[in-house]
Amino acid sequence: MRSLFERHSHPSMMIPGAATYALPLIALLVLGTLAMAIAPAIEANDMPNHVDVVVEGLSEKARTGQRMFNQTCASCHGLNAEGSEAGPPLIHSIYNAGHHSNKAFYRAVTQGSRQHHWSFGDMPPQPTVGFTQMTFILAFIREAQVINDI
């Protein structure tokens, strides 16, 4: 019985022993491609200290705050406050208004904050973020929390 890979009309097109290597090679290519496609999805879902944040439906004030946040705070807290390897997500139930008031956010920005919920170390004061910016940033954080059921 002839192998699938040896069914050619012209004898010069036949490669001796091709069937021995072709199936394992094809299987390896398929598995490799599949692994490359799945790996980013696994990594994204397993990224520690990260939450997926929905930001559709923000008010104009909150969208302004979102832009300010992403320019000044995202280096630690991730884009849209989703968290990163350097800082916790702020669109998280720990930071709900009943547990961390707006005053606590202002204090953290002006005076810094001791590590207490996460293991990132202390948050240093952020002297480049002013009161007006914080007003917009807090509008973003609070609206995003509501949109994300926090």
The per-residue pLDDT for range 22-77, each reduced to its tens digit, is: 556 555 555 454 444 443 433 344 567 789 999 999 999 999 999 999 999 999 99
Mean residue pLDDT across the chain: 81
Token reading at 136: 């917009």
Token reading at 150: 């926090």
Residues 98-125, mean pLDDT to the nearest whole number: 96
Higher pLDDT, 98 or 42: 98
